[in-house]
Amino acid sequence: MTQYFDALDTRPPGERERDLFRRLPAVVAAAMRSETYAERFGAIDPSAIATRDALSTLPVLRKSDLPDLQRKRPPFGGLSSQHPGRFARLFTSPGPIYEAQGLSADVWGVARPMHAMGFRAGEIMLNTFSYHLVPAGFIMDAGARELGCAVIPAGPGNTQQQLDLIAAFRPTIYCGTPDFLKIILDAPTSGRDVSSIERALVSGAAFPKNLQDDIARRGIEAFQAYATADIGIIAYETPARDGMIVNENIIVEIVRPGTGDPVAEGEVGEIVVTTLDETYPLIRFALGDLTAAIPGISACGRTNMRIKGWMGRADQTTKVKGMFVRPEQIDSIGKRHPELLKLRLVVTRSHDADAMTLACEADRPEEDLAPRIAETLQMVTKLRGAVEIVPPGSLPNDGKVIADERTLT
Amino acid sequence: MTQYFDALDTRPPGERERDLFRRLPAVVAAAMRSETYAERFGAIDPSAIATRDALSTLPVLRKSDLPDLQRKRPPFGGLSSQHPGRFARLFTSPGPIYEAQGLSADVWGVARPMHAMGFRAGEIMLNTFSYHLVPAGFIMDAGARELGCAVIPAGPGNTQQQLDLIAAFRPTIYCGTPDFLKIILDAPTSGRDVSSIERALVSGAAFPKNLQDDIARRGIEAFQAYATADIGIIAYETPARDGMIVNENIIVEIVRPGTGDPVAEGEVGEIVVTTLDETYPLIRFALGDLTAAIPGISACGRTNMRIKGWMGRADQTTKVKGMFVRPEQIDSIGKRHPELLKLRLVVTRSHDADAMTLACEADRPEEDLAPRIAETLQMVTKLRGAVEIVPPGSLPNDGKVIADERTLT
């Protein structure tokens, strides 16, 4: 059993970084041939976008903005200049967001993560993700087919028929949500044997510790994949179980929610992905999920960046006294007061009214700092709030720019 | 617009026949490497199976026998010697019958029929056949992808979401059952526009004249395909609308129901298909459907054999006075009396009891023929019945060996 999918798994990190950023300018140039990127990027020189710092100067593209963009410029929001009939398949996801599958085999990069999970050619995989309307089933199908596995395209539901197929074909691999794996394992089998399943790729839902333990007790090695309908597999667990390895051929940044500014290594922030696909480029695509990079390299020998799993949603826009307050606004307050290190707006309930306190980390603050910030806070949000100056490092590392601590009754 | 998919569409029929039967011996040899064919074919020499007459000496494989065969020798009934993990995808159909997709692109031969229906590269196809558990969705998907069409894998159901996708991507092609096309066209669209659909491949259900007229009135050209989960597209309509053209790379025979004996051209019988696929060969696979060959060549220029559409189910096994009577038994009566041309057992109800009459076509019959046949009838079926000798050509051409004319009350 070959341990690695190919030499890319283990190349020196600097070599990977040079490779990704050598390829990026052509993708940026391709992006600028489509309407929306052309407007957003303005007069930049694509050939200059050849470093992580240069990339971080480009505007982020929020996934939550796609429904509006696509309504305005159907079907792909002016982010691809290719006619939809030239893609392989066309999908929708809640939003609605319309998605496309490019022409290359395993365009979503799934074979490598599956290989890391121990899936091998000639194995049979039960794929319980849906193939209808959404891309999930095809994403996993493409990876397994690329590896040389036979796929049972089962989709979700029809548990009894799935049990028949498991008994008939004895698949060794399960692919789907962790919850549906439990449904299959717990179903009354009426003599049918589901013990053939040895390994699983689970995704699309939380995989809490008690369920992990339950699946492991049944002798199944389940690995999580962090995947999205737009990109495919972004990061995945390996037998080392020391975080999720970022996939090849994508650039991952972690930014302060509501901004495009990269956070310090280890700090929780919003995950932003850049793909290297010229037919439908996603440049600084902000997924709305929180995560954090893990320093160092995995014990499994794969050398790519590692991230923690899903740590919550990054969109912290909230309503205070009937007015929207956005993470972008808190960020702009920070930018007006360069002496501030980190900010966190805490929203509470006091005397039957909303209240807010802006906690600001500052090193050796001047005396009038708090009142000056309070003024900025009111100007930016049109709302009054308290300001509290705290020592550097005292705010929690949880990616929260706005912490809504009101208890809903 | 190129009219033909390739030169095979229009080659001289004799050339096609020579090509198919030149390739057949290798397929028969491959079949004999699997257990069940080895048992059924016995000591035959595969190289001798190089003509239509030689093929007609091999036993037919009834689709209705597959569930038992597969139970005995899972998963494929001993008809393929390849490990299931080496196929592309694995499916089930009612029965249950387990099916496999081979590795080659468009292994089911769908691109050619779609091309004949006017589908072209760069078009968008809404595919409403299911991709879950059964092969239907993948069969049509493979053909469209091979042609270079983008596919919306919609599956059946979720009509409102399908309307969203039609409005967003404006597919020109529909693929699915005729009934579901009507559901989509009749659905309240709430302002969404479904007028992009221009052409349709319909299959999997009857397409009655009034529904054909309804679809045509809406400006959609719908073509029927006769397809099965095991083989793919067997025959298809073309713009000539003069029957269904048999697909390339398969051999179609039409036999007397319950036998493997080819009927005369034009006579209604059971369709039997031989594929030229060495990994999962189907040799003389009797589908259980009635059809008839149409003499001559289509006005569209395609030179392959033409058949009428689906003309009913071929399995005429029926219960008379509590005993099963099978078409095979009627055939064996005919074989014992070589002077008979065609037989038809008519089952009726008389004085609150089942009654049967065996109608036999005979040219200049001897006087004691009827009583001799009556004796054979009783010996073979263990049931008494009347015998009626009729002139040649007087029995209807409807493929019926047993006509159950009892009215169910």
What residue of A is the nearest CA neighbor of B71? A168
Q: Is A21 left (phi over 0), alpha (psi -120 to 50) or beta?
A: alpha
> Rounded to an integer, what distance in angstroms lies between the CA atom of residue B66 and that of residue B63?
5
Architecture (CATH level 2) of domain B318-404: 2-Layer Sandwich (3.30)
Write the burial class of residue A24 (CB in 10 Å: 0-12 exposed, 13-18 middle, 19+ buried): buried
* pLDDT for res B1: 44
Residues linked to residue A107 through DSSP beta bridges, in sequence order: none
pLDDT digits (tens, 9 = 90+) for B225-249: 999 999 999 999 999 999 999 999 9
Question: Taking the CA atoms of chain B, what radius of gyration do you get in angstroms?
Answer: 23
Closest CB to B131 among A70, A131, A165: A131
CB contact under 8 A, A122 and B83: yes
Residue A77 to chain B, least CA–CA distance (Å) = 11
Report ipTM (2 d.p.): 0.90
Closest CB to A90 among B92, B122, B150: B150
* Angle between the N-to-C axes of helices B159-169 and B178-186, in degrees from 0 to 180, rounded to the nearest 10: 80
Contacts of A74 in chain B (CB under 8 A): 168
Write b or e for each residue in A158-187: b if 16 or more Cβ atoms lie within 10 A of its Cβ, otherwise e.
ebebbbbbbbbbbbbbbbbbbebbeebbee
> Rounded to an integer, what distance in angstroms lies between the CA atom of residue B36 and that of residue A328?
70
pLDDT digits (tens, 9 = 90+) for A215-272: 999 999 999 999 999 999 999 999 999 999 999 999 999 999 989 999 999 999 999 9
Q: Are A178 and A207 in contact (CB under 8 A)?
A: yes
Contacts of B100 in chain A (CB under 8 A): 150
Write the burial class of residue B394 (CB in 10 Å: 0-12 exposed, 13-18 middle, 19+ buried): exposed
CB contact under 8 A, A151 and B90: yes
Return the structure tokens found at A180.
């549906």
Contacts of B169 in chain A (CB under 8 A): 75, 84, 90, 98
3-class DSSP assignment, residue B285: strand
CB contact under 8 A, A96 and B168: yes
What residue of A is the nearest CA neighbor of B76? A168
Closest CA to B252 of B20, B12, B18, B14: B20
CB contact under 8 A, A169 and B145: no
* pLDDT for res A351: 84
> Rounded to an integer, what distance in angstroms lies between the CA atom of residue B213 and that of residue B224?
14
CB contact under 8 A, B133 and A158: yes
* pLDDT for res B13: 97
* pLDDT for res A408: 62
Average pLDDT score over residue span A208-218: 96
Write the burial class of residue A216 (CB in 10 Å: 0-12 exposed, 13-18 middle, 19+ buried): exposed
pLDDT digits (tens, 9 = 90+) for A49-91: 999 999 999 999 999 999 999 999 999 999 998 999 999 999 9
Question: Taking the CA atoms of chain A, what radius of gyration do you get in angstroms?
Answer: 23
Residue B353 to chain A, least CA–CA distance (Å) = 42
**Amino acid in position B63:** K
What residue of A is the nearest CA neighbor of B96? A164
> Rounded to an integer, what distance in angstroms lies between the CA atom of residue B356 and that of residue B354?
7
Average pLDDT score over residue span A318-325: 88
Contacts of A89 in chain B (CB under 8 A): 141, 150-153
> Rounded to an integer, what distance in angstroms lies between the CA atom of residue B62 and that of residue B313?
13
What CATH code would you report for B7-307? 3.40.50.12780
pLDDT digits (tens, 9 = 90+) for A281-304: 999 999 999 999 999 999 999 999
Contacts of B91 in chain A (CB under 8 A): 152-153
Which of A132, A164, A166 should we substitute to test contact with B (largest number of B Cβ atoms within 10 Å)? A132
Task: Give me the residues of chain B with pLDDT under 50, please.
Answer: 1
- Where do the CATH 3.40.50.12780 domains begin and end in chain B? 7-307
Residues 6+ apart with CB under 8 A from B296: B306
Residues 6+ apart with CB under 8 A from B341: B360, B361, B362, B363, B392
Return the structure tokens found at B251.
């051999």
> Rounded to an integer, what distance in angstroms lies between the CA atom of residue B347 and that of residue B334?
18
Contacts of B198 in chain A (CB under 8 A): none
* pLDDT for res A1: 44
Q: How many Cβ atoms are within 10 Å of A337's Cβ, its own excluded?
A: 15
Contacts of B141 in chain A (CB under 8 A): 89
Residue B373 to chain A, least CA–CA distance (Å) = 47
Let me know how long chain B is.
409
Alpha carbons within 13 A on the beta-carbon side of B318: 22
- Where do the CATH 3.30.300.30 domains begin and end in chain A? 318-404
E strand segments, A232-284: 232-236, 244-246, 250-255, 269-275
